[in-house]
Amino acid sequence: MPFVARFSETFFFVSRRGDFVPIKNYCSLIRNCPLIRLLFHAGATYISNAFPAGFYFRNLMNISLRYRLITNNLVQVRTITTIYRRSMQFRRPEAFAFFLSLWGISMVCCAQKPGLPGMAPSKWITFRTTHAPGKVYRFANSGNKTFTNEEMYVRAWLPVVHKKNFALVLGPNYRAEQLEFKSSGENPAKKFEGWNLRTFALDLNSFVRLDSTSWLVLTSHINKTGNFAMLSAKEIPLNYTFSASYLKRMSPNKEIGAGVIFNKSYKMTFLPVFLFNYNLSEREGIEIMLPKKMAWRHNLSPNDLLYFKAEAVTRTYYLNRVAEGTPDVCRRIDVDMGISYNRRFGKFGGVEVFGGYRKNLSNKMVHDAVPVRTSGLAATVEFYIQPPSFRGKGRH
């Protein structure tokens, strides 16, 4: 059933077949050509009498429109007096508006946000699992024990503010991790089994478009992370990270930027940020976001991407109550180095597979465990859903 939808100050007429037609095109055509206007109204009357859905089509012609000329080729619809809620098939208009905000976020963002052609597609909802076998620790009373580090992760992005020169999105996410015991005998690290190491976090990202080629990129991350089998959320400190960066598009194939990042977990850290995106050709590019990652990209096809990358992985978990004294913290810093393959399935979503070597730079476990081998192979499988776009315009 047809209805009227609005996206970024532009209304679309949705036909029974599901086609989205900008009303601004109808307005321009009818306004400038009286003959077509006469034929259009005559056709609307005929359709309304011949087809059941014609009632909505005819009444659409009676909608009061006020528009103004922005450029020679752009007419924006400013007001609309009638929207057929019966045909939207939503019980409340607020639900329909929320639905449109989720589905329509990429339509404007793709044209305004930083990024170069050929880069990986935006990810709306992400599901990820990681396995890193062969971790060996020495315990005082039981010798060397082998573990497999396993992780599950999920995140979804939700739009909050979406203006021409400013966008703000929220990304609630959840992570669960464990050290799966692989040796014989009793597990001396029971604190780390059973998926008890969990992280409840919220990402808040925004960008301010300063002009057509420069942006101020702001990111923040807050979380509570620890052994939730022993601690409640109130007993775990709040960790947070903030960053601010200036990004400048130097040419259609090059972006460069710099900024600063501040992190507060069980320690406070300040680090500089360096951003650099450069397309060497139509199929190859360099993506650098220090201190997070460095990558060389090869586009096998519009839907197949191959990355050779190095990416930092940091984890911190509280294991006891901070009020008891010095917090018992499990913390590690790794760098994943390897090959990542990203396969996109149309405009819906895709899968990304990573395989390589995880190099451990720092490792702090429980006080009675001595790291023996903390580096080794690592593999990640990620499924993602893209932000849907009615117009089908995405980053290629």
Residue 51 pLDDT: 43
State how many domains the chain has. 2
**Do 320 and 376 share a structural domain?**
yes
Which domain-ending residue is among 89, 119, 142?
89
Asked if residue 105 is part of any domain, the answer here is no
DSSP annotation of 236 reads S
Mean pLDDT of 189-210: 93
Q: What is the pLDDT of residues 57-111, one digit of tens each?
A: 444 444 433 333 333 333 333 333 333 333 344 444 444 433 333 333 333 343 4
**Do 114 and 85 share a structural domain?**
no
5 has pLDDT over 70: no
Residue 23 pLDDT grade (very low, low, confident, very high; cuts 50, 70, 90): very low
* Cβ atoms of residues 151 and 177 within 8 Å: yes
List the single range of 153-167, 187-201, 380-394 with lowest mean pLDDT: 380-394
**Do 183 and 47 share a structural domain?**
no
Q: What is the mean pLDDT of the chain?
A: 77
Q: What is the pLDDT of residues 136-166, one digit of tens each?
A: 999 888 889 999 999 999 999 999 998 889 9
* Cβ atoms of residues 243 and 258 within 8 Å: no
Burial degree of 282 (CB within 10 A; 0-12, 13-18, 19+): exposed
**Do 166 and 39 share a structural domain?**
no
The CATH number for 258's domain is 2.40.160
* Cβ atoms of residues 45 and 58 within 8 Å: yes
184 has pLDDT over 90: no
Cα 21–chain centre separation? 28
Residue 334 pLDDT grade (very low, low, confident, very high; cuts 50, 70, 90): very high
292 has pLDDT over 60: yes
**Do 74 and 125 share a structural domain?**
no
Residue 280 pLDDT: 95
**Do 188 and 332 share a structural domain?**
yes
* Cβ atoms of residues 289 and 297 within 8 Å: no
Tell me how far apart the alpha carbons of residues 13 and 6 are, in angstroms, rounded to a whole number: 9
* Cβ atoms of residues 297 and 307 within 8 Å: yes
**Do 17 and 156 share a structural domain?**
no
Q: What is the pLDDT of residues 248-287, one digit of tens each?
A: 999 999 999 999 999 988 678 899 999 999 999 999 999 9
Half-sphere exposure of 278 (CA within 13 A, CB side): 9
Asked if residue 198 is part of any domain, the answer here is yes
CA distances from 221 to 177, 239, 242 (A): 19, 8, 7
Residue 235 pLDDT: 86
Q: What is the pLDDT of residues 220-249, one digit of tens each?
A: 999 999 999 888 888 888 999 999 999 999
Residue type, 192: F
Asked if residue 97 is part of any domain, the answer here is no
Asked if residue 96 is part of any domain, the answer here is no
Residue type, 12: F
Q: What is the pLDDT of residues 312-330, one digit of tens each?
A: 999 999 987 665 666 678 8
Residue type, 34: P
List the single range of 45-49, 313-317, 370-374 with lowest mean pLDDT: 45-49
Give the relative orientation of helices 23-32 and 34-50 as an angle to the nearest 10 degrees: 130
Asked if residue 102 is part of any domain, the answer here is no
**Do 127 and 54 share a structural domain?**
no
Tell me how far apart the alpha carbons of residues 368 and 378 are, in angstroms, rounded to a whole number: 26
Reported as type and span, the H/E element at residue 101 is helix 93-112
Asked if residue 274 is part of any domain, the answer here is yes
**Do 204 and 71 share a structural domain?**
no
Residue 189 pLDDT grade (very low, low, confident, very high; cuts 50, 70, 90): confident
Mean pLDDT of 345-372: 90
Segments forming the whole domain that contains residue 335: 110-385
Residue 346 pLDDT: 87
Asked if residue 15 is part of any domain, the answer here is yes
Burial degree of 376 (CB within 10 A; 0-12, 13-18, 19+): middle
**Do 274 and 314 share a structural domain?**
yes
Which domain-ending residue is among 89, 121, 140?
89
Residue 327 pLDDT: 66
**Do 317 and 269 share a structural domain?**
yes
307 has pLDDT over 80: yes
Asked if residue 98 is part of any domain, the answer here is no
Residue 369 pLDDT: 85
**Do 376 and 278 share a structural domain?**
yes
